[in-house]
Structure 1
Amino acid sequence: MPSLWNSVLSVSLCMWLCLSLPWPAVAHQCSDTCKACGGHDNKTCLACKDGWMLHDTHCVDVDECDARTSGCPSNTYCFNTEGSFECRGCDPACVACMGSGPARCKKCANGYRMTGAKCVDIDECGENELVCPGLDEFCVNREGSFYCQCAKGFRREGGICKPIPTAGSHEKGLFDDLQEEEVEVLQQMFFGVILCALATLAAKGDMVFTSIFMGAVAAMAGYWFSDKGDRILDTVFKGR
């Protein structure tokens, strides 16, 4: 009887331990890579999680990029990670690529050209073609492109560089661009017209207009001789 009683106590104690202890403490904890296993070690895997495959009783990472199962969109490349993969963007110099950097391009993007084994920026400003034809603008290169910038004191309006008006600026008048000699010719023409009109009236016997005509002739002659005399004297003195 004592042996039977001891057997009952042993079974009861075992059942109590099994019920009171938490299940993970007595169950096998599989490796992170295993879906089912026969022990704690990775080498006891019976089935692998997604992204891993069973090889000689242990799970190894599946290289989705090498297996070409990633399905990454265009202008990206596949980057393998532990148990998975990522689709990463190509370098700005590339249209399509096999990895990171301008040396892994399949084709160069606009503004780049293949030099050696990689795509490099084209310096449009240094090319023979004049990309900024305006007289008051200059070319500024940037990665993959360029832009035309107006010179200092100018701004772009309607596609061309125009001077920026200042506080003291004003619109040009009709005679602002005339040279001194041209102004003198216009003055002589004006006085000639006046003299002709006065001469016509004086020819009709009007004494008033005759007097005005004679005075105007005398004034013009005096001005002409005075101006010529000043120029002659100025030339003489400067020539000394």
Structure 2
Amino acid sequence: MRLPRRAALGLLSLLLLLLPAPEAAKKPTPCQRCRGLVDKFNQGLVDTAKKNFGGGNTAWEEKTLSKYESSEIRLLEILEGLCESSDFECNQMLEAQEEHLEAWWLQLKNEYPDLFEWFCVKTLKLCCSPGTYGPDCLACQGGSQRPCSGNGHCSGDGSRQGDGSCRCHVGYQGPLCTDCMDGYFSSLRNETHSVCTACDESCKTCSGPTNRDCGECEVGWVLDEGACADVDECSLAEKACVRKNENCYNTPGSYVCVCPDGFEETEDACVPPAEAEATEESPTQLPAHEDL
């Protein structure tokens, strides 16, 4: 069986995605640790909002609640829920940075309402703001507002790592991910946006979505009267399926070779059942097309 080029590339990409990640990639970076701590802190704010209040003397509750909202008691409750006892690195970071969190809570949260930005980016310098990268938090390729033109991922985006280069999404290429790969055409292009759309499956390159817009046909297709048409490999003079008794079925852009039902498949032949050989030589029976 021969797969079309695009299908083969898709299968290869899927296999690469299924490969286990290296052990080093599974360990959270310092920035990820910091972000995780902040996320849990923010969840603690939600969990402790109006805690133990509801019903009764509304005026008393509002007065008491306003004190609790910014109290050290609430801070302590939040801090106690940040790390699992078994999470050594989380507890280590919390112990080392608890004074920073206390300072933000008691003195700075009104001036710096975004805890992540103040704690992880500006104070500990473990992360960068979105759209920036590296030790100095420089803007990614294409700018910090729309890195890689919105068509890719900036290396190191939001961290103190990477080089700011673009890893383009499928269909895009170029330093800023504004150009289209083979198999895609530009359906929108202006000063701020670039959109690449997949060609018809028969096209290797194209200028539009149909098989009449092909600049070059894919393998398994041929230009015929201005359009890329499927090649029926099974009807060619040179046999596509060469094993004895083997049947050929044409598919879009390719073909499949299969043994008839009941035949044993070997490297160089489709061997008929032993009982059939003993009685008579019968013509090859094609399996139903829907069984392929």
Task: State the TM-score, normalized to the length of structure 1.
Answer: 0.37
Q: Which has the higher strand share?
A: 1
Larger relative CO (CA 8 A, sep 6+): 1 or 2?
Answer: 2
Greater Rg by CA? 1
Task: State the TM-score, normalized to the length of structure 2.
Answer: 0.31
